Amino acid sequence: MSLVVVGCNHRSTPLGLLERMTVASDDLPKALHDLDAAANLSESVLLSTCNRIEVYAYAERFHGGYADIRELLARHSGLPPETVADELYAHHDDHAVRHLFTVAAGLDSVVLGEHEVLGQIRDAWQAARAEGTVGAALEPLFRRAVETGKRARTDTGIARGIASLSHAAVALAAERLGGLAGRRVLVLGSGDVAAGTLKSLAEAGPADIAVAGRTPERVATAAQLCGGRAVALADLDAALAAADVAITTTGATDIVVEHGNIDDVMARRGGAELLIVDVAVPRDVDPAAGELLGVTLLDMDDLGEFVERQRAGRGEEADTVRAIVDDEVNRYMAEASAREVAPLITALRARADLVSVGELERHSSRLADLSPAQRAAVESLLRGVVNKLLHEPTVRLKDAAGHARGDRLAEALRDLFDL
């Protein structure tokens, strides 16, 4: 059995392909059950965010598990398996553990140290729990990943400054417009990213914040939190026509704002320019809208370039977080090996006890004339010999747990004693 992670992210895959492979929350239960039904997988967690799609699983065979995950992502995206394969990375065993802990610590995000990914990992873990695809193997792994992410942010300054996609989107808009004070801002969406965006906007001092989305109740709640106003989705074009900047954050699987919508909006603006920052994956705004006169359309690629410029000077914090990840990976691997060793030692001693009992029964006629005290002495002698023989192998196996030597010893015991 191997722990594997197979996926793609903002670094490995162009945005156009990444958004096709994204798994929406409504599709997550089916995707998890498809993984659970795969021939080579026994447990699975699917992490799908605006900048990564990753499947963590235990595989009977690495190559078979990889193929099962690749096929699922191909079916979901409607892309040929060979196209999907070109975009995927894969890690197994300790490298898979290190990758997950690195993601949880915010080192593999668009925004260095971002805190949103930790909640996304926790949500993915809980969703897999709810669907019954997490067991004794992945449960401790994800618990430790969340703990690692918390430690990285508590013990270092990795999360200071711009530390979320929503914060970065507001900062990018402010950079392009020379600040947001006195500006009119429209936020499309009412989920977690929208909430983070509205919080950052409230601190930037715009003259007006409008919030639009598909669920009126959630939109109204979000607007209240930032002192803004709710806008009906039917009035979206009018809100765009009145805004200086729009930030779109929905979780929709299709385009929400078409080229034609923006064309009509620009005709109503009297030549005033419009900045749109689309941080949704899949994208909310038709990319062709960016070609219209007066429209500046920025997406996740632009956000990534902006954030990359902000990373300067935070290398020392990143190095400290990497040391934390190294420590947590080593601790987890040692504990995982110990968890695997314990049942092996139990099985070895059970086999020895079975042999001892069998030998006593086989010689029961010869021992029939012994007194109870003499019988007890023979049994005690036998147990003592067995315990002394097993003591050294047990100690060595426990001492080597967590290292390659421990894995070799464990495999040797399984073969030698047919455990």
User: What is the set of active-site residues?
Assistant: 50
* Cβ-proximal residues to 345 (8 Å cutoff; 6+ apart), any chain: 394, 397, 398
Q: Are strands 184-188 and 229-231 parallel, antiparallel or unpaired?
A: unpaired
Q: Give me the torsion for CA of 40, 44, 48, 54, rounded to 10°.
A: -50
In whole angstroms, what is the distance from residue 390 CA to residue 411 CA? 16
Structure tokens at 207: 């003259």
In whole angstroms, what is the distance from residue 238 CA to residue 13 CA? 35
Crossing angle of helices 28-37 and 116-130, rounded to 10°: 60
In whole angstroms, what is the distance from residue 47 CA to residue 24 CA? 10
* Cβ-proximal residues to 251 (8 Å cutoff; 6+ apart), any chain: 24, 25, 189, 191, 280
Decide: 265 and 196 in contact? Cβ < 8 Å.
no
Estimate the share of the chain in helix, then strand, then coil, as percent rounded to the nearest 5: 60, 15, 25
Cα–Cα–Cα angle for 282, 77, 281, rounded to 5 degrees: 10
Structure tokens at 114: 């971002």
Decide: 188 and 262 in contact? Cβ < 8 Å.
no
Decide: 185 and 208 in contact? Cβ < 8 Å.
yes
Q: State the SS3 of 258-300.
A: CHHHHHHHHHHCCCCCEEEEECCCCCCECHHHHHCCCEEEECH
In whole angstroms, what is the distance from residue 327 CA to residue 101 CA? 10
The answer for 48, left when phi > 0, alpha when psi is -120 to 50, beta otherwise, is beta
Decide: 166 and 119 in contact? Cβ < 8 Å.
no
